[in-house]
């Protein structure tokens, strides 16, 4: 019997390359005669460039050029649009400044140090105008577009009539993705209309498409390489102005140019999770049945793009509640455009919803876990469809058992341990389980090795590893003989790695192409190998790189089959996408997070002691990388809950903590023992593997679990993230601090 | 970063002479702060004088005094047997600072010379009297959650970021410096300055002077010590408030006590009045509360750091209690 590969904790196929420095990230590439770039960025938040004096910079040693709106080569694609008409930031098109940190010029020199120094010598004069960066002070500018229409079912604001109600405002600050690897690009015009890019991206094909539209050159003239990405969390889901600036500089100087931005610039050039304010109001019967939920959210965007995400999405279907209405508005500010950050809108929305449910549970005097189970949605109340699979109740049960929920004293501030206040909290999360369209090529060589190619990405979850496992199960070829290649625009189409959809989308295409390959091999055997003449492809057994007749009397290896026919390889390409199952079922992944916290009664310092996270994400392809992905999401969630906040000084519109020392990404010491469990049951409808997405639900809901635990420990409800010590200080004044 | 020249003298004399010849020169040891400042355009030295060749790496016992060379690495100092046994407070404070990687590079002298972490000081497009005298203080009317509650002036409300220095202030250390006119000794608590009208000056080191060592006198604080650092994340974060406590308790009486705070002032903040109030008293929660109350008298808070007063009040009591029961 062949060993099933999916479901195993297989080591990463590229793990060795990554830990030995063999993996080449975009900035590791070194085309001949490469030049180095540094950006000059705006120090005002709104206005226009009055002048740029590059004289000193151009005289500095090694400087090749200073490129700005004054002298940049034209971008043909800009002409299709009207300036200032929500086209995104069209870098170097004109002299407008929309936000602080906006690139004003790009300086190119023959070494990085010289470029950086010369950038400091560029003098920019501005005509400054009044800027707006404070959302609370700019609510009068709130608007809706057609991607964010009001939603309602049943009666609007029905919560107001309920016997037990809760209504509160929840705020989340601006958060920045801050992957270790900085953003940037190497741009090389090999001919006036052939462009090679080494990019940090979650989708080489979408980069190719964006460049094609802007520069109006044929798709095949644009080659994008991005085999390894050092973390992204969503910030590399689009082409940013910094990349266009580099491409323009390379075009102008006719040499390859590399730009790697600074940590400070990561706060203003590559998106962020927008700060938001959400009001959740809910009502229930005294026995805990929800009767109405109203969810109103406001988040920020840039002046030149409307960024929307699923802030209010979860509220519409998470609980079985007859009356739900939501509103979602944007406030345009003098900021760069946000972008999806892990868990995107649902992570934001779940903090409000899952905190509110917790708050309501105390008013009802019903256990918060019990309240969730009482209102469990067995079918999707938003779309009136069955779920393709939903094992949320099992996840609740696993999590409750592993954290020891039943030994929790439900009374806030009732538990202590070693002088610390002890709290237990929980929450749930959900995110759409998607499946898109992808194409994969399978090349079986006469040496018996299988190579799969698709323009997919791997920003860390272990894409290639999972694909090898899926291919091994279908083909019966052992994983050591299978290679999955990704991150090249010359490979067949795959969408960006985002929305937790890569395994579902690309994995399905891998499965399909492997089936197609087997059929090809079977037909070859049937037509060319006498012992197989009487059989059909369906009857053949595929094991260990062999075709075996149903009676197991005759075997032929892939090598022998190809060599007999003098075929160096067999290549099959297949495109895969779902059918109409999405019309029949609602497809979601679910997660449950439990946290045990300690709160210091005098200093308000919160330390998470134990985390249990459980995922209902269908069949798990690789239990090892999946566990890692869950832990990564939890660490992101710890940051959201306790430490991360990008702070602006609104007088200047500038960030004041735009570095790793002051913007607090959690460190190891913040990360307690984390137990990850999977329900690990196949979704029968979504895709051939039965796997739903995992990346987002790892983080979605987590912040609320911590906040709920902090409330349980202290009796203080923090509705404004992150939960820093100062927000819990007044616990001490209510009781003797040093007990 | 601007272009600069680089020299690596082999003797103290040569290092001091190199400094005297060049007005914009700076000494560099671990570089953990200076390089950041140079990259941000806050420090623009035209010459770096690398002092890592100088013979200032010794930790030795001089009679009852512990002599610590200025180039001793923070990680080595924290792990040294003499420090761990005689001055556990210093070891604790060192380990609360920065990250292991930074402590492996940072020196004792460099730690003392590190500049404030005030965001306005670091951003050359914002006002800062410390960086650019008379340009205004960005923090006073801006984001000042991390800023001083003691000893600040209208010109500057920045805090000194060191943990090590808080312990050294509590332990009555002495700073040994060498300059063109020879050597001199500065009591540790007089080394750093309050901002007043000259916030650009962090300390009383004269131009051309170099720290050569720190000395800690003998004291009875080997058992009852505590360095409590309250911060926004568990490691690699500057203190919101930190408290260094060293006590000598016998027969249930506090014979001698030192208390200093970090994260609250432009320099390590000793609490002489609170110390006085506790001396000769019994180590009880009530007495600790009394001392903490004395300690926070005169605190002045700003828009975002109002919590520091209460946090200081609570943290002093917590640290005292921890030290007393250690």
pLDDT digits 0-9 by tens, B174-209: 999 999 999 999 999 999 999 999 999 999 999 899
Percent of chain A with pLDDT over 90: 97
Q: What is the CATH number for A570?
A: 3.30.365.10
Say what the pLDDT of residue A608 is. 98
Q: How confident is the model at residue B109 (pLDDT cuts 50, 70, 90)?
A: very high
CB contact under 8 A, B235 and A668: yes
Please choose, from the candidates B89, B56, B97, B67, the residue with its C-alpha nearest in 3D space to the C-alpha of residue B174: B67
Which of A82-96, A619-633, B24-38 comes out lowest in average pLDDT?
A82-96
Q: Are residues A453 and A394 in the same domain?
A: no
Q: What is the mean pLDDT of residues B65-86?
A: 98
Determine which helix (DSSP H) or strand (DSSP E) holds B178, and give its type and residue range.
strand B174-179
- Coil, helix or strand for A251? helix
Asked if residue A331 lies in contact with residue A300, where contact means CB atoms within 8 angstroms, the answer is yes
Concatenating the DSSP letter of every residue in A370-398 gives HHHHHTB-SEETTTTEEBS---HHHHHHH
In a domain, B95, yes or no: no
Cα–Cα distance list, A374 to A320, A593, A676 (Å): 9, 18, 25
Cβ of residue A726 closer than 8 Å to a chain B Cβ = yes
* Cα torsion B96, B97, B98, B101: sign: negative
Q: Do A367 and A471 share a structural domain?
A: no
Are A67 and A202 contained in the same domain? Answer: yes
All residues of chain A having their beta carbon less than 8 Å from the beta carbon of residue B293 are none
Give the A:B interface size as CB pairs under 8 Å: 96
Chain B neighbors of A729, CB-CB under 8 A: 307, 310-311, 314
Range of the domain at A90: 31-130+180-231+236-267
DSSP-assigned letter for residue A616: E
Q: Tens digits of per-residue pLDDT, B291-311? A: 999 999 999 999 999 999 999
Residue A739 scores a pLDDT above 60: no
Report the pLDDT averaged over residues A582-606.
Answer: 98
Residue A311, in any domain of the structure: yes
The CATH number of residue A246's host domain is 3.90.1170.50
Would residue A160 count as lying in a domain? no
The answer to whether residues A368 and A487 belong to one domain is: no
- Count the domains in chain B: 1
In which element (H, E) is residue B103 found?
helix B100-103
Which residue in B has a C-alpha nearest to residue A646's C-alpha?
A: B143
* Residues whose CB falls within 8 Å of the CB of residue A401, separated by 6 or more in sequence, listed in order: none
Distance of CA A718 to the CA centre of its chain: 26
* DSSP H or E run through A214: helix A204-215
Same domain, A291 and A429: yes
Cβ of residue A661 closer than 8 Å to a chain B Cβ: yes
Residue A231 distance to chain B (closest CA, Å): 21
d(CA B197, CA B200): 9
Do A283 and A261 share a structural domain? Answer: no
Residue A164 maps to a domain: no
Would you say residue A67 lies in a domain?
Answer: yes
CA distance B168 to B268: 9
- Report which DSSP code applies to B23: T
B226: tokens are: 């505590």
The burial class, CB within 10 Å (0-12 / 13-18 / 19+), for B64 is exposed
CA–CA distance, B78 with B72 (Å, rounded to integer): 10
A581-602 burial, b at 16+ Cβ within 10 Å, e below that, comes to ebeebbbbbbbbbbbbbbbbbb
Residues of A in contact with B118 (CB under 8 A): none
pLDDT digits (tens, 9 = 90+) for A361-377: 999 999 999 999 999 99
CA distance B206 to chain A (A): 30
Could you give the CA distance from residue A118 to residue A108 in angstroms, rounded to a whole number?
Answer: 9
Residues A412 and A483 in one domain: no
The answer to whether residue A143 is domain-embedded is no
Using the Cβ of A171 and the Cβ atoms of chain B, whether some distance falls under 8 Å is answered with no
**Contact state of A603 with B311 under an 8 Å Cβ cutoff:** yes
Tell whether the model's pLDDT for residue B259 goes beyond 80.
yes
What integer pLDDT is reported at residue A732 of this predicted model?
Answer: 58
| Number of domains chain A is built from | 3
Name the closest residue on chain A to residue B123, using Cα atoms. Answer: A656
Residue B40 is assigned to a structural domain of this protein: no
Domain boundary among A577, A601, A618: A577
Burial class (CB in 10 A: 0-12, 13-18, 19+), A234: buried
**Is A603 within 8 Å of B315 when comparing Cβ atoms?**
yes
- Residue-wise pLDDT for B221-241, tens only, equals 999 999 999 999 999 999 999
A205 with A295, same domain: the answer is no
Question: Does residue A72 sit in the same domain as residue A221?
Answer: yes
Assess contact for A131 and A366: CB atoms under 8 A. no
Domain termination residue (choose one: A557, A577, A597): A577
Q: Is B50 helix (H, G, I), strand (E, B) or coil?
A: strand
Q: Which residue has the tokens 């400094």?
A: B19
- On the 0-12 / 13-18 / 19+ scale of CB atoms within 10 A, B21 is exposed
Q: Are residues A614 and A551 in the same domain?
A: no
* Beta strand residue intervals within A577-660, DSSP E: 588-599, 606-616, 648-649, 654-655
* Mean pLDDT taken over chain B: 97
**Which residue reads 């037509």 in tokens?**
A527
DSSP-based three-state secondary structure for B79:
helix
Note whether A292 and A243 are same-domain residues: no
For A101, name the nearest residue in chain B, comparing CA atoms only: B125
Q: Which chain A residues are Cβ-neighbours of B318 within 8 angstroms?
A: 600, 602-603, 737-738
Structural domain includes residue B316: yes
Cα three-residue angle B5-B6-B10, rounded to 5 degrees: 150
What are the CA-CA distances from residue A577 to residues A209, A318, A495, B211, B235 (Å)? 20, 27, 12, 69, 46
Asked if the structure places residue A163 within a domain, the reply is no
Domain range for B245 is 224-324
Select the more confidently predicted residue: A736 or B56.
B56
A549-557 contacts at long range (C-beta below 8 A, 24 or more positions apart): A556/A525, A556/A529, A556/A531, A556/A532, A557/A448
Which of these, A267, A304, A265, A270, lies nearest to A39 by C-alpha position? A265
pLDDT band per the 50, 70, 90 thresholds, residue A330: very high
How large is the average pLDDT for residues A145-160? 96
- Residue A1's pLDDT is what? 54
Find the mean pLDDT for residues A456-478: 97
Q: What is the CA radius of gyration of chain B?
A: 19
CATH number of the domain to which B265 belongs: 3.30.390.50
Mean pLDDT value across residues B151-173: 98
pLDDT tier, A736 (very low <50, low <70, confident <90, very high otherwise): very low
Q: Mark whether A375 and A259 lie in a shared domain.
A: no
**Residue A738: per-residue pLDDT:** 34
Q: Identify the band that residue B1 occupies on the pLDDT scale cut at 50, 70 and 90.
A: confident
- Selecting from A600, A652, A724 the residue whose C-beta is nearest the C-beta of B232 gives A724
- Searching chain A, which residue's CA lies closest to the CA of residue B125? A43
Mean pLDDT of A292-318: 98
What's the whole-number average pLDDT of chain A?
96
**Residue contact B310–A652, C-beta within 8 A:** no
Report the side by side order of strands in the sheet with B269-270.
B224-231, B239-250, B253-262, B269-270
Q: Does A418 touch chain B (CB under 8 A)?
A: no
Q: Is the pLDDT of residue B2 over 90?
A: no
Tokens encoding B267: 């320099």
| Cβ contacts of A421 within 8 Å, gap of 6 or more | A413, A415, A598, A599, A600, A601, A713, A714, A731
A437-461: b (≥16 Cβ within 10 Å) or e? ebbbbbbbbbebbbbbbbbbbbbbb
* Single residue among A248, A267, A286 that ends a domain in this structure: A267
Tell me how close the Cα of B126 comes to any Cα of chain A, in angstroms.
8
Classify A516 as helix, strand or coil: helix
Provide the Cα torsion A598, A599, A605, A610; round to 10°: 20
Cβ contact B241:B260 at 8 Å: no
Residue A735 has pLDDT above 70, yes or no: no
Residue A24: how many other CB atoms lie within 10 Å: 14
Tokens for B157?
Answer: 């409300």
CB B154 within 8 A of CB B180: no
Residues in chain B with CB shorter than 8 Å from the CB of A600 are: 318
Q: Which two tokens stand for residue A310?
A: 């699923």
């Amino acid at each position: 019997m062949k060993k099933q590969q999916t479901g195993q904790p297989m080591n990463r196929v590229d793990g060795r390359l990554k830990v030995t420095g063999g993996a080449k990230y975009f900035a590791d590439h070194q085309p001949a005669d490469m030049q180095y770039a540094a950006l000059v960025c705006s120090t005002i938040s709104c206005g226009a460039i009055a002048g740029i004096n590059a004289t000193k910079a151009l005289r500095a040693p090694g400087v090749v050029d200073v490129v700005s709106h004054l002298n940049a080569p034209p971008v043909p694609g800009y002409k299709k649009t009207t300036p200032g008409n929500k086209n995104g930031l069209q870098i170097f098109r004109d002299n407008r400044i929309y936000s602080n940190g906006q690139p004003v010029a790009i300086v190119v020199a023959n070494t990085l140090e010289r470029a950086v120094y010369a950038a400091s010598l560029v003098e920019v004069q501005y005509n400054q105008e009044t800027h707006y960066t404070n959302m609370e002070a700019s609510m009068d500018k709130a608007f809706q577009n057609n991607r964010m229409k009001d939603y309602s079912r049943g009666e609007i604001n029905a919560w107001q009539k309920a016997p037990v109600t809760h209504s509160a405002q929840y705020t989340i600050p601006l958060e920045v993705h801050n992957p270790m690897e900085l953003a940037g690009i190497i741009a090389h015009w090999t001919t006036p209309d052939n462009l090679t890019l080494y990019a940090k991206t979650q989708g080489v094909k979408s980069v190719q498409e964006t460049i094609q539209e802007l520069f109006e050159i044929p798709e095949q003239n644009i080659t994008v390489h991005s085999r390894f990405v050092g973390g992204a969390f969503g910030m590399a889901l689009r082409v940013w102005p910094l990349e266009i600036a580099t491409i323009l500089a390379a075009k102008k100087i006719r040499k390859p140019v590399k730009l790697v931005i600074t940590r400070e610039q990561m706060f203003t050039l590559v998106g962020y999770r927008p700060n938001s304010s959400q009001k959740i109001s809910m009502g229930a019967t005294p026995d805990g049945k929800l009767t109405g939920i109203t969810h109103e959210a406001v988040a920020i965007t840039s002046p030149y793009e409307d960024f929307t995400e699923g802030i209010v999405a979860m509220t519409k279907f998470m609980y079985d509640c007859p009356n739900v209405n939501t509103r979602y508005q944007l406030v345009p500010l003098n900021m760069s455009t946000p972008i999806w950050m892990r868990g995107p809108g649902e992570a934001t929305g779940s903090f409000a919803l899952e905190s509110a449910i917790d708050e309501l549970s105390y008013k009802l005097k019903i256990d918060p876990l019990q309240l969730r189970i009482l209102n469990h949605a067995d079918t999707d109340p938003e779309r009136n469809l069955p779920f393709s699979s939903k094992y949320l109740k099992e996840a609740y049960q696993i999590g409750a058992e592993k954290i020891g929920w039943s030994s929790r004293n439900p009374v806030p501030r009732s538990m202590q341990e070693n002088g610390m206040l002890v709290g237990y909290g929980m929450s749930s999360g959900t995110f759409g389980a998607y499946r898109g369209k992808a194409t994969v090529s399978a090349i079986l060589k006469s040496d018996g090795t299988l190579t799969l190619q698709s323009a997919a990405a791997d920003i860390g979850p272990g894409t290639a590893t999972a694909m090898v496992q899926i291919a091994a199960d279908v083909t019966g070829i052992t994983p050591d003989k299978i290679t999955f290649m990704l991150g090249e625009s010359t490979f067949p189409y795959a969408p960006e790695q985002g929305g937790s959809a890569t395994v579902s989308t690309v994995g399905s295409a891998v499965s399909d192409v492997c089936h197609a390959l087997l059929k090809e091999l079977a037909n070859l055997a049937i037509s060319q190998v006498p012992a197989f003449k009487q059989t059909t492809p369906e009857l053949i057994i595929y094991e260990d790189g062999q075709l075996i007749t149903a009676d197991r009397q005759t075997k032929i290896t892939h090598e022998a089959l190809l060599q007999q026919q003098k075929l160096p390889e067999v290549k099959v390409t297949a495109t895969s996408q779902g059918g109409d199952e999405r019309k029949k079922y609602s497809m979601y992944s679910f997660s449950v997070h439990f946290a045990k916290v300690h709160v210091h009664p005098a200093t308000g310092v919160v330390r998470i002691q134990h985390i249990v996270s459980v995922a209902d994400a269908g069949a798990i392809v690789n239990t090892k990388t999946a566990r890692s992905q869950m832990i990564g999401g939890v660490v992101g969630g710890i940051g959201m809950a306790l430490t991360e906040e990008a702070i602006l000084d609104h007088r200047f519109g500038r960030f004041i903590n735009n570095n790793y020392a002051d913007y607090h990404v959690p460190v190891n010491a913040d990360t307690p023992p984390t137990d990850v469990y999977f329900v690990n049951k196949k979704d029968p409808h979504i895709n051939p593997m039965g796997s739903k997405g995992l990346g987002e639900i790892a983080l979605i809901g987590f912040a609320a679990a911590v906040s709920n635990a902090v409330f349980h420990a202290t009796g203080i409800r923090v509705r404004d993230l992150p939960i820093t010590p100062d927000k819990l200080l007044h616990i001490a004044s209510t009781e003797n601090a040093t007990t | 970063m601007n272009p600069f020249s680089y020299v690596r003298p082999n003797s103290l004399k040569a290092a001091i002479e190199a400094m005297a010849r060049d007005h914009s020169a700076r000494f560099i040891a671990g570089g953990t702060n200076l390089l950041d400042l140079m990259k941000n355009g806050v420090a623009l030295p035209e010459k770096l004088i690398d002092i890592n060749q100088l013979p200032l790496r010794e930790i030795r016992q001089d009679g009852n005094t512990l002599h610590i060379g200025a180039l001793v690495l923070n990680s080595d100092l924290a792990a040294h047997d003499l420090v761990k046994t005689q001055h556990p407070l210093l070891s604790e404070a060192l380990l609360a600072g920065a990250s292991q990687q930074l402590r492996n590079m940072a020196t004792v002298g460099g730690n003392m010379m590190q500049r404030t972490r005030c965001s306005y000081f670091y951003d050359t497009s914002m006002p800062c009297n410390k960086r650019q005298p008379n340009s205004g203080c960005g923090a006073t009317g801006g984001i000042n959650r991390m800023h001083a509650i003691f000893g600040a002036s209208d010109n500057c409300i920045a805090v000194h970021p060191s943990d090590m220095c808080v312990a050294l202030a509590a332990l009555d250390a002495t700073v040994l410096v060498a300059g063109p006119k020879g050597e001199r000794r500065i009591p540790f608590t007089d080394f750093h300055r309050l901002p007043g009208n000259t916030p650009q000056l962090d300390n009383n080191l004269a131009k051309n002077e170099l720290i050569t060592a720190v000395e800690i006198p003998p004291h009875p604080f080997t058992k009852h010590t505590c360095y409590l650092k309250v911060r926004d994340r568990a490691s690699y974060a500057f203190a919101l408030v930190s408290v260094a406590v060293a006590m000598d308790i016998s027969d249930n009486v506090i014979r001698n006590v030192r208390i200093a705070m970090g994260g609250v002032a432009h320099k390590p903040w000793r609490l002489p009045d609170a110390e006085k109030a506790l001396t000769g008293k019994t180590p009880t929660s009530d007495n600790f509360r009394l001392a903490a109350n004395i300690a926070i008298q005169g605190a002045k808070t700003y828009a975002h750091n109002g919590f520091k007063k209460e946090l200081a009040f609570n943290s002093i009591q917590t640290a005292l209690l921890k030290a007393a029961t250690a």
